[in-house]
Chains A and B, each alone.
Chain A
Amino acid sequence: MSIVVDFRDVVAVAGSFPVLTGVDVRIDAGELVLLSGANGAGKTSLLRACAGLQPVSAGSAEVLGYDLRVDRRAPRRYIGLLGHENCLYRDLRVREHIEFRASVAGLKMSDASDSLARVGLDDRLWSAPVAALSAGQRRKLAIASIIVSRPRLWLLDEPHAALDSEGRLTMNSIMEEVASLGATVVFASHDKELSEQLASRVITMSNGRLTEDSGAS
């Protein structure tokens, strides 16, 4: 099985504040990994480091075979990142937004329509401005924007946030589906009950480092 994330003794700082303080983790293709831990434990920083958005200041960090210390941008074309923010343009219509994301990924509108349908965004909403959507609908559109780019590595920070119970179940089934197709999913969540039954592996973080790893050999 190929290694997707290979971090060894990774240290990262934001300004002068250490956010990762010696992270050792190896994640294989097809794994569905839950990052757990209290606020400020380093979950978001680890996800952003995997995406190459948080620079690594020490240690060895490889994602999808690319050395992040040499080129942080290289693996991004294969990564889908859902952060705390939804990365949506408020003044675009839903359809225009997803078309833009599909065009950026070099895909067609039919792919965009499929991804909107997959997250359960009713086609009546496709002509609505993004600003008119509810918080949950915006989260669904953000998830659809990830689906449309067909990533090999999914990095999801609180993917269930703002979603209703049906939306949460849909999110879980999407994560299971992409992992079963060989993609790797790493997600941070505070919803232990919903997430632990879904994840194939649970990693717990505290003070910028891993404290428990259910998949550690």
Chain B
Amino acid sequence: MLPEALLIARKDLKIEMRSKVALGQVAPLALLILVIFAFALDANSMLLKLGAGGLFWISALYGGTMLVQRSFDLESEDGNFDALRMSNIDPSAIFLGKTLALFVQIGILELVIGPAILILYETQVSDWLLLLLAAVAGTLAFAVCGVLWGVMASGLRVRTTLLPLLLVPVLSPVLLAGSRAFETALGVRAGDGWTWTGLMFVIASLHTAVGLGAFGFLLEEG
């Protein structure tokens, strides 16, 4: 299953490298959101520092949702979903491959907006390991949920507007846990950032289990 998953991931990433949607369009938009918040809350720099973790994840959520949408638009265009259904590839491998590709793309997006948080909001990192692991856990949960809900919405004509409506409530616990973990890592909240990070890994694991079992059915019926 792993070679097939890597095949799908490599294909998605190659397409992304050519189209440059993530770096050329989504990342600038996510940065713009951070800049707008910086202007809006400029009078209260303390508030910006306190909310930096939450604003990072809001920005990542917005940009990441667009990347999920894009990942499934590739398959909807020109009937590629039919080609995937007709292929020999195990649906679980398709699920894992698309998750891996999204994980990389959202990760790159976060590498762009992360430094922006530090510079624009004048925040400092007090626990780099926690910050890194929380980012990995949140990105993983985001990618897994995105692929699972993305395939559900993919067969619908209203998918462009429906996907965020489905995805945001599902990702709310990730958003909350990510914000709390980042606040601890940025030293603005005393608390157990590791517990929140663990929670995100649990959410990712649960959705992975559901995805491995249900993706074939969802792909077939989508």
Structural contact, A100 and B79, CB atoms closer than 8 A: no
Q: Which residue of the partner chain A has the closest CB to B75? A: A89
When distances are taken between beta carbons in the complex, the residues of chain A under 8 Å from B74 are: 89
Asked, given contacts A81-B86, A88-B78, A89-B74, whether A103 binds B7 with beta carbons under 8 Å apart, the answer is yes
Q: In chain A between 83 and 97, which residues have their CB closer than 8 angstroms to a CB of chain B?
A: 83-92, 96
When distances are taken between beta carbons in the complex, the residues of chain B under 8 Å from A84 are: 79
When distances are taken between beta carbons in the complex, the residues of chain A under 8 Å from B82 are: 53, 81, 83, 85, 87
Interface string of B42-76 (1 = CB under 8 A from A): 00000000000000000000000000000000100
Interface check A59, CB cutoff 8 A: no
Which one of B10-18, B111-119, B173-181, B197-205 contacts A? B10-18
Interface string of A58-93 (1 = CB under 8 A from B): 000000000000001100110111011111111110
Asked, given contacts A87-B80, A88-B78, A89-B80, whether A129 binds B85 with beta carbons under 8 Å apart, the answer is no
**A149 to B220 alpha-carbon distance, docked (Å):** 21
**A118 to B80 alpha-carbon distance, docked (Å):** 23
Structural contact, A83 and B88, CB atoms closer than 8 A: no
Q: In the complex, which of the residues B19, B79, B88, B89 contacts A91, with contact meaning CB atoms closer than 8 Å?
A: B19
Asked, given contacts A76-B86, A89-B11, whether A129 binds B18 with beta carbons under 8 Å apart, the answer is yes
Q: Which residue of the partner chain B has the closest CB to A103? A: B7
Structural contact, B88 and A105, CB atoms closer than 8 A: yes
**A83 to B80 alpha-carbon distance, docked (Å):** 11
Q: What are 15 A-B residue pairs whose CB atoms fall within 8 Å in the complex?
A: A73-B216, A76-B86, A84-B79, A87-B80, A87-B82, A89-B74, A89-B78, A89-B80, A91-B14, A91-B15, A91-B18, A92-B18, A105-B87, A105-B88, A145-B83
Having A80-B86, A81-B86, A87-B83, one finds 19 other A-B pairs with CB under 8 Å, namely A53-B82, A53-B85, A73-B216, A73-B220, A76-B85, A76-B88, A84-B79, A85-B78, A85-B79, A86-B78, A87-B79, A87-B80, A89-B80, A91-B19, A92-B11, A92-B15, A103-B7, A106-B88, A129-B18
Interfacial residues, chain A to chain B (CB-CB below 8 A): 51, 53, 72-73, 76-77, 79-81, 83-92, 96, 100-101, 103-106, 129, 145
